[in-house]
Amino acid sequence: MKLKSFIVTFAFVLTTGMLYLVGHMFTIPRLMFHHEYTVNGNGFFISIGSLVPLIIGLIVCFFAEKIYIYKFR
């Protein structure tokens, strides 16, 4: 079971990291992580980047786990 969790985690980290890297290399806004944090005397502003690579990474993990279970059953 430890190998399965390693494979699924590795697939998630690799997929998400590669998508964020491609987004920054080719300036694709849907794949870029952008973080802003501003504190003024008037107010407070916070912003975060795209979550699309995280969602795609979770989908890849789901399929990686299904393939692992199917092959080693």
Give the per-residue pLDDT at 59.
Answer: 95
Mark the ranges of the chain whose per-residue pLDDT is less than 70. Answer: 1
3, 9, 11, 60, 61 from 66: Cα distances, Å:
14, 13, 12, 10, 9
For 49, residues 6+ apart whose C-beta sits below 8 A from its C-beta are: 32, 33, 34, 35
- What's the whole-model pTM score? 0.79
The answer to whether 35 and 48 are in contact (CB under 8 A) is yes
